[in-house]
Amino acid sequence: MKEYELIYQIRGAIYDTYNALGPGLLESVYEETLVYFLNKRGLKIERQVEIPIIVEGNRLNTQMRIDLLVERRIIIEIKSVAEMREVFHLQILTYLKLAKLHRGVLVNFNTVDIDDSIWLKVNGFDSEATLP
């Protein structure tokens, strides 16, 4: 499946999750529900994937965890916050860089309009466009 097709499927699962639950719940609830809807679409999902931290060729004794990894290609970072901060956008870009992946999706479920709370992120630069 091509990346744009994966993004389309991810977006659909995000809408399904939001429509099923609405705003105001914990991130863990949205994660569980989003995984359900992604699996329903036949996508391979990994949760809380550990990514090693390598600095100057040395693997450090710490790791980061990304919320969801779809088809080993696209990171989904889930938020449920009253205010989206710039650091959340930078965080997923850092995750993409460290994981050596190209695309990610940042979503905030704690919103009255999910359309304005889904962002496509691309490794190397910030795509200002939200998902279609």
Q: What order do you get walking across the sheet with 118-122 strand by strand?
A: 45-55, 58-70, 74-79, 103-108, 118-122
Q: What is the pLDDT of residues 97-128, one digit of tens each?
A: 988 899 999 999 999 999 999 999 998 744 44
Residue 111 has which token pair? 């919103």
pTM: 0.89
**Structural domains of the chain sorted by starting position, each given as residue range(s) with its CATH number in brackets:** 3-122 (3.40.1350)
- pLDDT, tens digit, 9 for 90 and up, residues 26-43: 999 999 999 999 999 999
Which sign does the torsion angle of CA 91, 96, 124, 120 carry?
negative
* pLDDT at 1 (0 to 100): 85
Nearest by Cα to 63 from 42, 49, 73? 49
